[in-house]
Each structure stands twice: as structure tokens, then as C-alpha cells.
Amino acid sequence: MTTTTLPAYDDAVAAFEPVIGLETHVELGTKTKMFCGCPTDFGGEPNTRVCPVCLGLPGALPVANKAAIEATIRIGLALNCSIATWCRFARKNYFYPDMPKNFQISQYDEPLCVDGYLDVEVDGRTVRIGIERVHLEEDTGKTLHVGGATGRIHGATESLVDYNRAGIPLVEIVTKPVPGAGALAPEVARAYVTELRDILRGLGVSDVRMEEGSLRCDVNTSLNRPGEEWGTRTETKNVNSLRSVERAVRSEIIRQASVLESGGRIVQETRHFSEETGDTRPGRSKEEATDYRYFPEPDLVPLAPDPAWVESLKAALPEPPRVHRKRLQDAWGLSDLDMQSVVNAGAVELIEETVAAGATATAARKWWLGELARRANETGVELSAVGATPAQVAELQTLVDGGKLNDKLARVVLEGVVAGEGSPTAVMEARGLAVVSDTGALTVAVDEAIAANAAVADKVRGGNLAAAGALIGAVMRTTKGQADAKAVRELILERLGAN
């Protein structure tokens, strides 16, 4: 292996053209599993939400969940796909302990939805992402490898398996390869997953929580020199946040460019993204393609959605996120550029909810794009996971508007909220941060300031009102910024007989 220093990202995309592709798995929010009546709620004692069907016991027969089929068709329609008039489930055979039946019911060559697209906006430019297919399958169970240092199977002393998740309806959405994004490929990948998440949320088909795994993303990346054929692609797994989608593509572009520049070749393989290091590590090699021995599932009847039903689902689709955003932009009075920065910060819904909780759009935008965005950036988390809720931000602004907090104190209160100390009012009271406008308490501080700055006080008495600024500053210092500046000024002038 040749030792090379990693090229800079700019050099990598100057020499090579990236082609990306995304496979997204979405756990549907149906009440019951795909082929049985077990509940689908997240968590729960291991192996308590199971039955003979999802445990694959002999003789148990699956029955397809109509709500899951409806949700999948709605996803396909929202992604401009054609809906199959007739298709079948298929058995994907593999032996792995997270799959109690030793096969997964999936769809193979007859997916429910095919050939759609999703437009995303990046850097003021619209990029059309082709959708290859949207199909329905069942989720696997979860394995837990204990006793080792890494949580991986290597080095573990034992492996535990939880089948609560086995059989939860899972939709797989596969894009066509996306060439031509150039240096913007990482942003395009992120914009796609963001837009897809917003669509799924708007459809109400999933809670789309990447951190809980209800939205999971695999990112394919390859590089080729301009004019040459597409290169060998790698598939990066474990990409569990929007930010990681972007980072994973970027780091894989840099890594592949480094290999290619030094005369090496890219191995077709699965790689794992590490949140800690921000780079990808090799996993399973895919040079020998796994043979899953797919065949049509004999225990289920084919799916033949009535075209009239599909039409009625199409007519009832919610407003697409892009249209919704345009409406918000108009309501908030933002320029295209300002709205773009709101979108880029992942703050659209946060601001929308903050406004719904009573704040003005201007105030909501100020907090989310200012203090909270800065904090999210510093700690490397999504804005939505920064630790403050829209309701809390609205409450904070109410305290400012009501004169209980000034801007500086509000920022300190927000720190407490983010640190989990409670609501803005609770933090303000617990830390004693409220603005002091109580005349009794301020008079003492004002008299002290006058006594300590006799010369300045004389100037004010003599009619130089501008000199009062120095006294106000002294009071603010002794009250640690908590005095109501306007009340202090009035008190000073009153005490000095200058008003």
C-alpha cells in the first residue's frame, strides 16, 4: 500500500467526477407489523412484541398489512413514480440470526413503484434525482454483540437478538445514479435525504427519526476522470444523520481520489461511516455478489392495487414541501437568499413551530439561525437536536418582549435551557437572571454609583445628560447586566434632579 497524503477536497473534484446514489430505508409508522398483528412501537422489553408469524414458527401464515401498502403507494406517488397494477412479494433467502424465518419477505423484480424523480435545490440550482424503485419489505430483528470493545461481532463473547423490530414494514427507496453534481455532490446527497424526509413526514407515514433508525441511509459513491466510464462504487452504511450523509460522501470522494491518484483501484465493497472520525472504513467485500435465491413468496397473494384507488390516493396527497416552503417564505417576508439559509440550517420546521407557538418570524429566525445554529455547529449536532424546542424559544422571546429579560440575559437563559435545566422561565428563576426593574433595589445601586463617581454626577447635575452613560454603566456592572437600563437612566436623572 502506497502512503500518500489525502488530497484536498477541491483537488479531488477538480480531477474526478463523482457519481452518487442513495438507498434509503424507512420504517413505516403503521400500528402493526407487515404480516402480523404485533405492535410496532419503538423500544420495549426485548422479544415481547412477537408472535408465531414474525418469529417464523412452522405453519404460521403472513397476511399483508393494507395500511403499509397504502403508505408505500402514497410515497411512490409523492416521488412521481408509476404504480404497478400487479406485483408480488418475493423471498430473499439468507441465514442470519436477525431474521428468524431465514428469509426476508421483500420485493425483487416486481416493485410496487418505479421510475420517479425528486427535485432538490442546491446552491440556487435545481437537481433532478431519478428514483429507480420504491418497494415494500419487512425489517429484520436487532443483534447486540456484548463483551467486546467495539460492539461489533469480532471480539464479542456473546450475541443477543431482539425480534421486536422483525417484521416492521420497511420501505426501500432507491435512486438512479446521480452524475453531474461535481463538487456539490455531498450537498446534493444531503439535500435529497432532507427533501425525502420532509416528504415522508408530510405524508405522515413515518416518524423519520434518523437517530432511532426509522430513516436509514446507504450512500453509493464512485469517481471517474472526465470523459471516462463511471468508476467502481462503494456503499457506505451507518449514515445516521443528515450531516453525516454529506460528510460520508465528501470523505469517500477524498479517499477514492487518493487511491486513484496513487495508481490504486477502488474495491467494490460495503464501508462503514464513523461519526467520530468522519471517515469510512471497509466492511464486507462485495466482489462475490451474494446469491439470495429470490423466488415469489408462495404464502401471499399478488398485489393488484385498483387504479381508481391509486388515483384517489394521488388526489389526496398533501402539499409538497417545496410548495409549502414557498408559502412560508412569503408569509415570513424573506428573500430567496434568506430562505435558502433557513433551509440550509435545517430550520424551516423549527421556525414554523416557533411561530405557531407565538413568536414572530423575525424573532424565531434570530434565535434559530443565531445563537442556536452557532451552538449546533460547535457541538456537531443537527439544529433540531440542539436541546431547545420551538415552544421554549417562543417562551424565551415572550420573556424578552415582556421586559423580563434583555437580549444578553436571554442568551444566558438559553444556555441553561440547552443544558437541560428546564423551561426559560424555570432557568430564569432558578439562576436569578430576571431583569431588575424594581425601583427599591435599583435605587441602592444608583446611589452607590453616584457616590462613587461624584465628578460625573456633578456634570449630570450641571445639565450634561450624556455623562449619565458612565453612571448607567456602573450600575449595570454592579447588577451583572441584570438592571433594566431604561429604569436606571430615569432613576439617575431623578436622583440628580436633572430631569
- In the complex, the residues that contact Zn ion under the rule CB under 5 A are 36, 38, 51, 53-54
Largest CA distance in the chain: 100
Least distance in angstroms from the C-beta of 64 to Zn ion: 13
> Could you write out the three-class secondary structure of 446-470?
HHHHHHHCHHHHHHHHCCCHHHHHH
Number of Cβ atoms within 10 Å of the Cβ of 372 = 23
**Least distance (Å) from Zn ion to the CB of residue 32?**
8
Closest contact distance (angstroms) between CB of 293 and Zn ion is 24
Q: Which is nearer to Zn ion, 36 or 343 (CB)?
A: 36
Q: Which residue, 49 or 197, has its beta carbon nearer to Zn ion?
A: 49
Q: Which three cell numbers stand for residue 127?
A: 437537481
Tell me the closest approach of the beta carbon of residue 164 to Zn ion, in angstroms: 10
CB burial of 106-145 (b: ≥16 within 10 Å; e: otherwise) equals: bbbebbbbbbbebebbbeeeebebbbbbbbbbbbbbeeeb
Picking from 485, 495, 428, the residue whose alpha carbon sits closest to that of residue 456 is 495
Q: Which is nearer to Zn ion, 52 or 155 (CB)?
A: 52
CB of 71 to Zn ion, least distance (A): 19
Nearer to Zn ion, 51 or 184 (CB): 51
Contact present, 117 and 77 (Cβ < 8 Å): no
Q: How far is the CB of 26 from Zn ion (least distance, A)?
A: 20
Least separation in angstroms between CB 24 and Zn ion = 25
Nearer to Zn ion, 27 or 218 (CB): 27
CB of 53 to Zn ion, least distance (A): 5
CA angle 138, 289, 68 (to 5 degrees): 15
Q: Closer to Zn ion at the Cβ: 47 or 143?
A: 47
Sign for the CA dihedral angle at 40, 41, 46, 49 comes to negative
CA–CA gap between residue 98 and residue 349 (Å, rounded): 36
Closer CB to Zn ion, 92 or 101, in the complex: 101
Q: What are phi and psi of 77, to 5 degrees?
A: -65, -40
Report the residue number, 33 or 459, with the smaller CB distance to Zn ion.
33
